[in-house]
Amino acid sequence: DAGVIQSPRHEVTEMGQEVTLRCKPISGHDYLFWYRQTMMRGLELLIYFNNNVPIDDSGMPEDRFSAKMPNASFSTLKIQPSEPRDSAVYFCASSETSRLAKNIQYFGAGTRLSVL
Amino acid sequence: KQEVTQIPAALSVPEGENLVLNCSFTDSAIYNLQWFRQDPGKGLTSLLLIQSSQREQTSGRLNASLDKSSGRSTLYIAASQPGDSATYLCAADTGRRALTFGSGTRLQVQP
Protein backbone atom coordinates (compact mmCIF):
# COMPACT_ATOMS: atom_id res chain seq x y z
CA ASP A 1 0.00 0.00 0.00
CA ALA A 2 1.18 3.55 -0.75
CA GLY A 3 0.35 4.74 2.73
CA VAL A 4 -1.77 7.76 3.62
CA ILE A 5 -1.77 10.20 0.72
CA GLN A 6 -2.35 13.92 1.20
CA SER A 7 -2.68 16.64 -1.39
CA PRO A 8 -1.53 19.21 -2.05
CA ARG A 9 1.84 19.04 -0.28
CA HIS A 10 2.08 22.82 -0.22
CA GLU A 11 -0.63 25.44 -0.48
CA VAL A 12 -0.16 29.19 -0.54
CA THR A 13 -3.27 31.32 -0.55
CA GLU A 14 -4.46 34.77 0.31
CA MET A 15 -6.54 35.66 3.33
CA GLY A 16 -10.24 35.18 2.70
CA GLN A 17 -9.83 32.43 0.12
CA GLU A 18 -11.27 28.95 0.48
CA VAL A 19 -8.77 26.14 1.02
CA THR A 20 -9.46 22.43 0.58
CA LEU A 21 -7.06 19.79 1.82
CA ARG A 22 -7.45 16.19 0.70
CA CYS A 23 -6.62 12.82 2.21
CA LYS A 24 -6.73 9.24 1.01
CA PRO A 25 -6.38 6.80 3.92
CA ILE A 26 -4.79 3.38 3.76
CA SER A 27 -7.17 0.92 2.14
CA GLY A 28 -9.10 -1.05 4.73
CA HIS A 29 -8.56 1.45 7.51
CA ASP A 30 -11.80 2.58 9.13
CA TYR A 31 -10.52 5.42 11.31
CA LEU A 32 -9.34 8.73 9.87
CA PHE A 33 -7.83 11.60 11.83
CA TRP A 34 -7.02 15.22 10.94
CA TYR A 35 -4.27 16.95 12.96
CA ARG A 36 -2.73 20.42 12.79
CA GLN A 37 0.89 21.16 13.73
CA THR A 38 2.22 24.61 14.61
CA MET A 39 5.31 25.80 16.43
CA MET A 40 3.22 27.41 19.15
CA ARG A 41 0.68 24.67 19.84
CA GLY A 42 2.41 21.53 18.60
CA LEU A 43 0.33 18.71 17.13
CA GLU A 44 -3.40 18.94 17.84
CA LEU A 45 -6.28 16.69 16.86
CA LEU A 46 -8.95 18.54 14.88
CA ILE A 47 -11.48 15.80 14.09
CA TYR A 48 -11.70 12.07 13.53
CA PHE A 49 -14.04 9.73 11.67
CA ASN A 50 -15.02 6.10 12.11
CA ASN A 51 -16.58 4.37 9.12
CA ASN A 52 -16.98 7.78 7.45
CA VAL A 53 -18.93 9.21 10.39
CA PRO A 54 -17.47 12.13 12.41
CA ILE A 55 -16.98 10.97 15.98
CA ASP A 56 -15.25 13.88 17.71
CA ASP A 57 -14.90 17.35 16.21
CA SER A 58 -14.19 19.15 19.47
CA GLY A 59 -10.76 20.15 18.20
CA MET A 60 -12.07 22.06 15.19
CA PRO A 61 -11.10 25.64 16.02
CA GLU A 62 -14.16 27.43 14.66
CA ASP A 63 -16.96 27.34 12.12
CA ARG A 64 -14.61 28.31 9.32
CA PHE A 65 -13.31 24.75 9.46
CA SER A 66 -15.29 21.80 8.14
CA ALA A 67 -14.40 18.20 7.32
CA LYS A 68 -16.15 15.53 5.32
CA MET A 69 -15.63 11.90 4.50
CA PRO A 70 -17.97 10.99 1.63
CA ASN A 71 -16.54 7.48 1.33
CA ALA A 72 -14.00 5.15 2.89
CA SER A 73 -11.20 6.27 0.60
CA PHE A 74 -11.44 10.06 0.69
CA SER A 75 -11.70 12.92 3.15
CA THR A 76 -11.47 16.69 2.88
CA LEU A 77 -10.70 19.46 5.33
CA LYS A 78 -11.99 22.83 4.21
CA ILE A 79 -11.23 26.29 5.57
CA GLN A 80 -13.50 29.10 4.44
CA PRO A 81 -12.54 31.89 4.71
CA SER A 82 -8.88 31.31 5.47
CA GLU A 83 -6.89 33.56 7.82
CA PRO A 84 -3.13 33.99 8.36
CA ARG A 85 -3.38 32.25 11.75
CA ASP A 86 -4.50 29.09 9.94
CA SER A 87 -0.98 28.73 8.55
CA ALA A 88 0.29 25.34 9.75
CA VAL A 89 1.05 21.82 8.62
CA TYR A 90 -2.09 19.70 8.44
CA PHE A 91 -1.69 15.94 8.82
CA CYS A 92 -4.08 13.15 8.03
CA ALA A 93 -3.70 9.74 9.72
CA SER A 94 -5.58 6.47 9.55
CA SER A 95 -5.87 3.28 11.60
CA GLU A 96 -7.78 0.04 11.43
CA THR A 97 -10.15 -1.61 13.91
CA SER A 98 -8.25 -4.89 13.91
CA ARG A 99 -5.36 -2.99 15.44
CA LEU A 100 -7.60 -0.79 17.55
CA ALA A 101 -6.49 -2.41 20.72
CA LYS A 102 -3.22 -0.67 19.96
CA ASN A 103 -4.53 2.26 17.90
CA ILE A 104 -1.45 2.46 15.71
CA GLN A 105 -1.94 5.49 13.49
CA TYR A 106 -0.25 5.92 10.13
CA PHE A 107 0.43 9.48 9.08
CA GLY A 108 0.54 11.15 5.69
CA ALA A 109 3.35 13.52 4.72
CA GLY A 110 1.21 16.56 5.53
CA THR A 111 0.05 19.70 3.72
CA ARG A 112 1.97 22.88 4.52
CA LEU A 113 -0.53 25.74 4.35
CA SER A 114 0.54 29.37 4.17
CA VAL A 115 -2.16 32.04 4.29
CA LEU A 116 -0.83 35.47 3.31
CA LYS B 1 -7.60 17.19 30.24
CA GLN B 2 -4.48 15.20 29.38
CA GLU B 3 -1.28 17.21 29.02
CA VAL B 4 1.97 15.75 27.70
CA THR B 5 5.37 17.35 28.27
CA GLN B 6 8.72 16.43 26.75
CA ILE B 7 12.13 17.33 28.10
CA PRO B 8 14.56 18.41 26.76
CA ALA B 9 13.21 20.39 23.81
CA ALA B 10 16.48 19.88 21.95
CA LEU B 11 19.50 17.66 22.38
CA SER B 12 22.83 17.43 20.58
CA VAL B 13 25.12 14.45 21.19
CA PRO B 14 28.20 12.93 19.55
CA GLU B 15 27.78 9.74 17.55
CA GLY B 16 27.89 6.56 19.62
CA GLU B 17 26.46 8.06 22.78
CA ASN B 18 23.54 6.46 24.60
CA LEU B 19 20.73 8.90 25.35
CA VAL B 20 17.38 9.20 27.10
CA LEU B 21 14.38 11.26 26.06
CA ASN B 22 11.75 12.04 28.65
CA CYS B 23 7.97 12.28 28.43
CA SER B 24 5.51 13.04 31.21
CA PHE B 25 1.72 13.02 31.22
CA THR B 26 -0.79 14.38 33.72
CA ASP B 27 -3.58 11.78 33.52
CA SER B 28 -2.42 8.27 34.38
CA ALA B 29 -5.61 6.72 32.95
CA ILE B 30 -4.00 6.04 29.58
CA TYR B 31 -4.69 3.21 27.17
CA ASN B 32 -1.18 3.27 25.77
CA LEU B 33 1.82 5.53 25.26
CA GLN B 34 3.35 5.90 21.82
CA TRP B 35 6.66 7.24 20.53
CA PHE B 36 6.95 8.69 17.05
CA ARG B 37 9.77 10.00 14.91
CA GLN B 38 9.36 13.00 12.62
CA ASP B 39 11.91 13.95 9.97
CA PRO B 40 11.92 17.51 8.56
CA GLY B 41 9.13 18.01 6.05
CA LYS B 42 7.79 14.52 6.64
CA GLY B 43 4.95 12.91 8.51
CA LEU B 44 5.21 10.92 11.73
CA THR B 45 6.47 7.35 11.89
CA SER B 46 5.41 5.11 14.77
CA LEU B 47 8.43 3.73 16.66
CA LEU B 48 7.13 2.01 19.76
CA LEU B 49 3.80 1.55 21.50
CA ILE B 50 3.56 0.54 25.15
CA GLN B 51 0.24 -0.79 26.36
CA SER B 52 -0.94 0.43 29.77
CA SER B 53 -0.33 -3.05 31.20
CA GLN B 54 3.27 -3.14 29.97
CA ARG B 55 6.43 -1.69 31.48
CA GLU B 56 8.60 -1.48 28.39
CA GLN B 57 8.96 -2.23 24.70
CA THR B 58 12.09 -2.74 22.63
CA SER B 59 12.84 -2.40 18.94
CA GLY B 60 16.44 -2.69 17.86
CA ARG B 61 18.45 0.07 19.54
CA LEU B 62 15.30 1.66 20.96
CA ASN B 63 13.77 0.89 24.33
CA ALA B 64 10.74 2.65 25.74
CA SER B 65 9.58 2.36 29.33
CA LEU B 66 6.33 3.34 30.99
CA ASP B 67 5.57 4.17 34.62
CA LYS B 68 1.88 5.01 34.80
CA SER B 69 1.85 5.75 38.50
CA SER B 70 4.40 8.54 38.12
CA GLY B 71 3.10 9.66 34.72
CA ARG B 72 6.40 9.13 32.96
CA SER B 73 7.82 7.42 29.90
CA THR B 74 11.37 7.36 28.60
CA LEU B 75 12.82 6.52 25.22
CA TYR B 76 16.33 5.12 25.38
CA ILE B 77 18.46 5.17 22.23
CA ALA B 78 21.60 3.07 22.34
CA ALA B 79 24.74 3.80 20.34
CA SER B 80 23.25 6.82 18.59
CA GLN B 81 23.93 7.39 14.88
CA PRO B 82 23.66 10.49 12.65
CA GLY B 83 20.65 8.84 11.01
CA ASP B 84 18.84 9.06 14.34
CA SER B 85 18.71 12.85 13.97
CA ALA B 86 15.03 13.81 13.97
CA THR B 87 12.28 15.07 16.25
CA TYR B 88 10.89 12.50 18.64
CA LEU B 89 7.32 12.88 19.91
CA CYS B 90 5.47 10.95 22.55
CA ALA B 91 1.70 10.69 22.58
CA ALA B 92 -0.79 9.46 25.17
CA ASP B 93 -3.83 7.51 24.10
CA THR B 94 -6.63 7.88 26.65
CA GLY B 95 -8.79 5.32 24.87
CA ARG B 96 -10.84 7.85 22.92
CA ARG B 97 -8.81 6.93 19.82
CA ALA B 98 -7.39 10.45 19.77
CA LEU B 99 -3.76 11.00 20.71
CA THR B 100 -2.46 13.85 22.87
CA PHE B 101 1.04 14.75 21.74
CA GLY B 102 4.00 16.31 23.50
CA SER B 103 5.87 19.13 21.81
CA GLY B 104 8.77 16.87 20.89
CA THR B 105 12.53 16.61 21.44
CA ARG B 106 14.69 17.66 18.51
CA LEU B 107 17.72 15.35 18.42
CA GLN B 108 20.93 16.05 16.55
CA VAL B 109 23.60 13.33 16.48
CA GLN B 110 26.97 14.73 15.44
CA PRO B 111 29.20 12.47 13.32
Closest residue on chain B to A96 (Cα): B97
Is A43 within 8 Å of B101 when comparing Cβ atoms?
A: yes
In this predicted structure, the answer to whether residue B25 has a pLDDT above a threshold of 80 is: yes
| Chain A residues whose C-beta sits inside 8 Å of any chain B C-beta | 4, 31, 33, 42-45, 48, 50, 55-56, 59, 91, 93, 95, 100, 102-110
pLDDT at residue A1, rounded to an integer: 67
- Measure CB to CB from residue B32 to each of A93, A102, A107 and give the nearest one: A102
Smallest Cβ distance to B46: which of A55, A100, A104?
Answer: A104
Computed over every residue of chain A, the mean pLDDT equals 93
- Taking residues B81-85, report their average pLDDT: 97
What pLDDT sits at residue A100? 53
Question: Residue A98: is its pLDDT beyond 80?
Answer: no
Chain B: residue whose CA lies nearest to A42: B103
Q: How confident is the model at residue A103 (pLDDT cuts 50, 70, 90)?
A: confident
Per-residue H/E/C for chain A: CCCCEEECCEEEECCCCCEEEEEECCCCCCEEEEEEEECCCEEEEEEEEECCEEEECCCCCCCCEEEEEEECCEEEEEECCCCHHHCEEEEEEEECHHHCCCCCCEECCCEEEEEC
